Amino acid sequence: MFTAAFQDHYGYLIACLLAAGAFGGSAWFLARRLGSSYGIWWGFLVAALSGVLGVTFMGGGPASNQCVLNHNFAEPFHTTQGLWNLAMTVPLGMFGLLATRRPLPTLVGVVTLPLAIEFTQATVDGLGRVCDSSDAEMNILGGLLGLAAATAFMAIRRSVDWQGGAKVSLIVAAGVLLIGTAVRPMLTYTNIDGTGLSAATTSQRQAVEMAVQQAFGDRYELGHVYEQPCVGAPCTNIAFTLLSPAKEHPEAFANGTLSWPDKKHLNVLLEDSDRSYVMGYPVTGAKKPVNEQEAFKIAQSYMRERYPWAEGASIHQTFAVGEKAELGWMTNWRWLDDKVLMPRMLDVQIDRVGQVSQVDVTLGPTHVKLETPKLDARQAEENVQEAMVARSRAHGGSTPGDFNFEAFTLKAVYRDGTWRPEWLVGVTSPTNAEEEADSTASVNADTWRVDAIDGQVYDGTDVPVETE
């Protein structure tokens, strides 16, 4: 709801402050005209509320009809955004009680308002932003802190109307619960348990914004951004979503990841089916491709516009994605140095209507100094087979069944502070005996790695596997 980066919104914030002052002054004047003795507090309350609403809906866009439910309640206390969300609603609880002198109506207000704000962000086009339970949590806590502080101060002065507005407050609270139950099916939810994802920092969000800008310009608005540890490997990715640019399809979104802190690997999946092209990135002048050659020309146009350095690739190839190119065509650009694959790559997928549906970028070097490999392809395949058998036995299992092993290329990999040549070995399990002869009819495909110097094997998740 509230971020620490306002460098592009100074004018808007100034306008919010002026509007808050004007609304607060009007509320003070009206309260005085109505004979209230607490006009000054009504003025402060309306000014604070105006400021909160102004900041909340700053930069609003299309609604996504989605909310994140973060079950790690301690997480927002460790983020700048979370602390700001808490601080910005403290005045609401404080001034609310000072203006009304009634704790129960104020309590209902400071709980209901954040929930209403998050629901509005998720469902109202033009006011749409990220709907996150952590925002509501911190807003409510902020309001409760302000209410508690004002209650303690006023209780000493015996100026609290403890029963005032109790009946109305209970009716409103019951109504909110009923409305919440009714509108819950309108939203889809992403549950976060706090063990895998955590809120991204300002610098991480800015890094994602720069990477997305490089890939797609200003077409997409950034949605959720989270830090995500890699599975089975000592690394971190920044996971993010991109919101739909189509007003008629606000529910659509795309997913992506950016490696952190090196920021060298970006993957964005704009489309994940052959039935929706809402999120696809249009390439200027592109028409519906009907074959690999036409898809390559579109991918090449995109590459020249966004990643012109890929012109220097050693090789490129385009192939169908799906048996009948249902998902379009993928074009790969690769760099080779002395027949070893370098860690710089660009993959661009073009869908059936000629839009970019996926981008994968790796910003590694195009030349590194490597030791001469000591293992050939056959030895690498044997090492993987031995490693699979050893792992199965170590876990009390039987010897794995028939697998196909194919060491298909050498790749330069940065590991433990040095560049190493490693064999990439494809491991596949035939679906059945009749299909073994068909190399395309296999399941459980995986890519293992074998160090071409010392023979160390790494499984498909890059975890080292012992062979003894």
What per-residue confidence (pLDDT) applies to 232? Answer: 52
Residue 151 in tokens: 């209650």
Residue 18 pLDDT grade (very low, low, confident, very high; cuts 50, 70, 90): very high
Determine the Cα–Cα distance for residues 24 and 48; give it in Å rounded to an integer.
8
Quick one: average pLDDT of 158-167? Answer: 88
Q: Looking at the structure, tell me whether residues 279 and 424 fall in a common domain.
A: no
For residue 1, tell me if it sits in a domain: no
Q: Looking at the structure, tell me whether residues 14 and 66 fall in a common domain.
A: yes
Q: Looking at the structure, tell me whether residues 31 and 158 fall in a common domain.
A: yes
What per-residue confidence (pLDDT) applies to 14? Answer: 86
- Cross-strand pairs, 232: none
For residue 172, tell me if it sits in a domain: yes
* Structural contact between residues 316 and 295, judged by C-beta atoms closer than 8 angstroms: no
Range list of β-strands (E), 12-166: 66-70
Q: Looking at the structure, tell me whether residues 347 and 218 fall in a common domain.
A: no
Number of domains in the chain: 4
Boundaries of domain holding 111: 10-190
Q: Looking at the structure, tell me whether residues 297 and 248 fall in a common domain.
A: no
CATH number at residue 360: 3.10.450
Quick one: average pLDDT of 207-219? Answer: 95
For residue 372, tell me if it sits in a domain: no
Taking residue 390's Cβ as centre, other Cβ atoms within 10 Å add up to 15
Taking residue 453's Cβ as centre, other Cβ atoms within 10 Å add up to 16
For residue 324, tell me if it sits in a domain: yes
pLDDT tens for each residue of 304-325: 999 999 999 999 999 999 888 9
Taking residue 371's Cβ as centre, other Cβ atoms within 10 Å add up to 12
Instruction: Name the least confident of 31-40, 363-372, 422-431.
Output: 422-431
* Structural contact between residues 109 and 89, judged by C-beta atoms closer than 8 angstroms: no
Residue 206 pLDDT grade (very low, low, confident, very high; cuts 50, 70, 90): very high
Measured in degrees and rounded to the nearest 5, phi and psi for residue 84 equal -65, -40
Q: Which DSSP letter does residue 432 get?
A: S
pLDDT tens for each residue of 117-126: 998 888 887 7
Q: Looking at the structure, tell me whether residues 49 and 107 fall in a common domain.
A: yes
Q: Looking at the structure, tell me whether residues 38 and 133 fall in a common domain.
A: yes
For residue 2, tell me if it sits in a domain: no
Q: Looking at the structure, tell me whether residues 396 and 359 fall in a common domain.
A: no
Q: Looking at the structure, tell me whether residues 282 and 342 fall in a common domain.
A: yes
Q: Looking at the structure, tell me whether residues 67 and 52 fall in a common domain.
A: yes
For residue 208, tell me if it sits in a domain: yes
- What b/e readout covers 257-282, taking b as 16+ CB neighbours within 10 angstroms? bbbbeeeebbbbbbbeebeebbbbbe
Task: Select from 221, 251, 269 the last residue of a domain.
Answer: 269
Q: Which DSSP letter does residue 185 get?
A: G
Determine the Cα–Cα distance for residues 99 and 38; give it in Å rounded to an integer.
6
What per-residue confidence (pLDDT) applies to 438? Answer: 43
Q: Looking at the structure, tell me whether residues 352 and 327 fall in a common domain.
A: yes
Residue 398 in this model has a pLDDT that exceeds 70: no
